[in-house]
Amino acid sequence: MAEPYAMSLSEAAAAVAARRLSPVELLDSTLGHIERVEPRVSAWARLRPEGARRQAERLGVGAATGPLHGIPIGVKDIFYTAGFETSCGSRIMAGFVPTYDATTVARLREAGAVLLGKTHTTEFASFDPSPARNPWALDHTPGGSSSGSAAALAARMCHGALGTQTSGSIVRPAAFCGVVGLKPTFGRVSRYGVHPLAWTLDHPGPMARTVRDVALLLETIAGPDPHDPATLSAPPTERYASALDDAGARERVLRRLRIGVPDRYFFDGLDAEAATAYRAAVSALGALGGTVRDVRLPDLFEAGMEAHDLIHNVEAAAVHVDRYRTRAADYGQKLRAFIETGFQVPAPTYVRAQQVRTKLIEVMHEVFRDVDVLVTPAAPGPAPEGLASTGSPVMNRPFSFLGFPSVTVPCGLTRNGLPLGLQIAGRPFEELTILRVAAAYEGATSWSEAVPPL
């Protein structure tokens, strides 16, 4: 048996459910490993070892509470956690202790998860980096804004984590750190209790080391929430993890799967090694039974990306305007620039940008009539060297803008040993399709088994 801290979430959950492993043993193994590697990785904003231990002890003597019984989880530090500080990577929020849990956090707790601590985020989930480092190369960024969640998972310091994505903040760090990250459909997972960056673009979602683990987290946190109106019209959630276990269903889906390869945008400035890994991944997916088709992206696609950035800009300025009046000097330089430029965008331009969004969603629905998934590189290359920036979200931004679901799965290592990711996007609320494709790819390759050399 692997060391408990090194197990996947699903393996650990099965071991705890079968009473081969107690929640306390799992927690102690994980905390011991954190003690060894955290000084180098800096994934955590703050840990709660005593609180986690009390919770694990309670879970150890009681009946099974849910599918995550006793599983140590990291939560990005913009999710509210009742009685435990949530500082959003910001001087302004330092010391803030919420009185309630974000809906996603509450659902994880109800399912038996042990809240291990809060993972580092860039300032207010925007651009100014956190102290987190990439476990694969400590002088490289782990990506952002869910920097600490991705780094903690890659370094085996937790079994699952929560992140959020407004442009590329789940998929990009997951790809840079060689883990799996899912940005759900807008409305699939509640935003309640998550500090906003841009209301109409924010997507909370799960991160883990395997596709099945991400599926298990998704089915725990997804579903309608009266506190988030965007979730109320969503179709019912599915049992994503057990659906992935159905090999027959997976084969049937793969046999008739139409895999779309975009004609442009995703290849601008793409690193040569990332391009090679991407082409190999597309071939591997084709070999699994799917049909690979070229897809012409709509003419409006590039204007849509400009519209995304304007909406992001304006909504972030609106989120922060009240605090900015009195605390401007306490914001980092990149977020200050973002807020201030947001003030300068005319209101009719914001409305036009939201109209462009409506049109692009409409035409992308048509694109998805001819294909079931679009596959793209998850980032323009591996994690860039240096900690002053978190890399580019350009590959992930389209699906944040559209609200369509996307997932990244590891698809290679560069010559320097840095992970690369394959992004798979699907139709709204068809998370199960992209998870099935990601799981099939993961099962046919061994990239997800690679461990950083810490």
Type of residue found at 417: G
Q: Does 406 participate in catalysis according to the annotation?
A: no
92 binds other proteins (CB under 8 A): no
Which residues from 250-309 bind other proteins, rule CB under 8 A?
Answer: 300, 302-303, 306-307, 309
Residue 168: phi and psi, rounded to 5, are -140, 30
Which residues from 319-338 bind other proteins, rule CB under 8 A?
Answer: 321, 324-325, 328, 336-338
Burial (CB < 10 A; 0-12, 13-18, 19+), residue 439, is buried
Tell me the C-alpha to C-alpha distance, in Å, between residue 135 and each of 13, 26, 70: 24, 22, 25
354 binds other proteins (CB under 8 A): yes
Q: Does 76 participate in catalysis according to the annotation?
A: yes
Catalytic residue among 8, 10, 22, 76: 76
CB of 158 to other proteins, least distance (A): 34
Q: Which is nearer to other proteins, 174 or 360 (CB)?
A: 360
Q: Which is nearer to other proteins, 136 or 324 (CB)?
A: 324
Which x/- pattern, by CB under 8 A, does the window 216-255 give for other proteins? Answer: -------------xx-xx----------------------
CB of 223 to other proteins, least distance (A): 16
CB of 391 to other proteins, least distance (A): 18
- Tell me the two tokens of residue 112: 């038996």
Q: Which is nearer to other proteins, 70 or 224 (CB)?
A: 224
Q: Distance between CA 37 and CA 135 in Å, rounded?
A: 9
- Tell me the two tokens of residue 235: 């179709």
- Tell me the two tokens of residue 322: 């009240």
Tell me the C-alpha to C-alpha distance, in Å, between residue 205 and each of 45, 76, 121, 146, 249: 19, 10, 14, 10, 25
Q: Distance between CA 77 and CA 73 in Å, rounded?
A: 12
363 binds other proteins (CB under 8 A): no
CB of 227 to other proteins, least distance (A): 13
What one-character DSSP code corresponds to residue 236?
P
Could you tell me how many residues of this chain bind other proteins (CB under 8 A)? 37
Report the b/e string of 302-325 with b at 16+ CB within 10 A. eebbebbbbbbbbbbbbbbeebbe
417 binds other proteins (CB under 8 A): no
Residue 210: phi and psi, rounded to 5, are -135, 165
Residue 299: phi and psi, rounded to 5, are -55, -30
Which one of 171, 297, 353, 407 is in contact with other proteins (CB under 8 A)? 353
Q: Which is nearer to other proteins, 158 or 201 (CB)?
A: 201
Q: Distance between CA 243 and CA 250 in Å, rounded?
A: 8
Q: Which is nearer to other proteins, 69 or 397 (CB)?
A: 397
CB of 173 to other proteins, least distance (A): 23
- Tell me the two tokens of residue 105: 């956090």
Q: Does 169 participate in catalysis according to the annotation?
A: yes
310 binds other proteins (CB under 8 A): yes
Q: Distance between CA 202 and CA 305 in Å, rounded?
A: 16
Give the distance from CA 395 to its chain's centroid: 14
CB of 317 to other proteins, least distance (A): 9
Q: Which residues have a catalytic role annotated?
A: 76, 145, 169
Binding interface with other proteins (CB under 8 A): 200, 229-230, 232-233, 300, 302-303, 306-307, 309-310, 313, 321, 324-325, 328, 336-338, 340-341, 343-346, 349, 351-359, 361
